[in-house]
Amino acid sequence: MCSGDYRMSKREIELLVEDFFGIPIALGSIANLEQVAGEAIAAPVEEVKKAFPSLPVVHADETGWYERRQRSWLWGAVASSLAIFLVRKTRCSEVAKELLGATFAGILITDRWSVYSWVDVLRRQLCWAHLLRQFIGFQDHGPEETAIGRSLELLAETMFHWWHRVRDGTLSRADFQKLMASSRVHVVARLQ
């Protein structure tokens, strides 16, 4: 937990254990305990990996990560009740397939990074956080782009407002879909 989640160094962990619990611990013991913990969770991690290809909806992303001072990538896949993370030296489609399972058949929510292009486009949803950033980014490129970007940003914010109402039970899913159909007309008209 200390080294993974809080990114503490072994020396910082050593100090924490001694300060909080009054237990002196060697740096080598910390490394050994990390190894034991990794071995203890290996079987449950494999079970989670096996579940991902059949999950209905999965969000996936990757970010830069340093492993032993070498540039690597932290890959993450998150579903409603499961999550899995991998640290790999590359940012390629083979790792994406390892993360999700080469037979992944659900809906995949990602950015536009090409490593996910092996998943059929009809089962891909672009991440709304990335889309919102792009809509805001449009606004830095001139008056016409600013108008389009601002319109798309406002429509996305409206969509999220409605979706939060669906989640809290104050708007039905059917009504949400009707509202979205009318918004879709505005988006298409704005882009033509």
Please check whether residues 136 and 90 belong to one and the same domain: no
Q: Is the pLDDT of residue 89 over 90?
A: yes
Query: In angstroms, how far apart are the furthest CA atoms of the chain?
Result: 68
C-alpha 75/C-alpha 140 separation (Å) is 31
Q: 65 lies in which domain range? A: 52-125
CA distance 10 to 30: 7
Q: Could you tell me the pLDDT band of residue 190, with boundaries at 50, 70 and 90?
A: low
Query: Residue 123 and residue 101: Cα distance in Å, rounded?
Result: 15
Confidence of residue 172 (pLDDT cuts 50, 70, 90): very high
Whether 18 and 36 map to the same domain: the answer is yes
DSSP string computed for 150-177: HHHHHHHHHHHHHHHHHHHTSS-HHHHH
Residue 5 lies in a domain: no
Of 14, 40, 18, nearest to 29 by C-alpha is 14
Residue 5 CA to chain centroid, in angstroms?
A: 16
Residue where a domain terminates, one of 84, 107, 125: 125
What is residue 3's predicted lDDT score, i.e. its pLDDT? Answer: 80
pLDDT tens per residue, range 124-148: 999 888 889 999 998 888 898 898 8
107 and 157 share a domain? Answer: no
pTM, two decimal places: 0.72
Say whether both 59 and 35 belong to one domain: no
Are 88 and 73 in contact by the 8 Å Cβ rule? The answer is: yes
Is 46 part of any domain?
no
Q: Output the pLDDT for position 169.
A: 95
**Does residue 3 sit within a domain?**
no
Same domain? 34 vs 83: no
Q: Do residues 135 and 171 both lie within one domain?
A: yes
- CATH label of the domain that carries residue 58: 3.30.420.10
- Please say if the pLDDT value at position 191 is more than 80: no
For residues 48 and 41, the answer to whether their CB atoms sit within 8 Å is: no
Q: What is the mean pLDDT of the chain?
A: 90
| Whether pLDDT at 67 is above 90 | no
Same domain, 73 and 121: yes
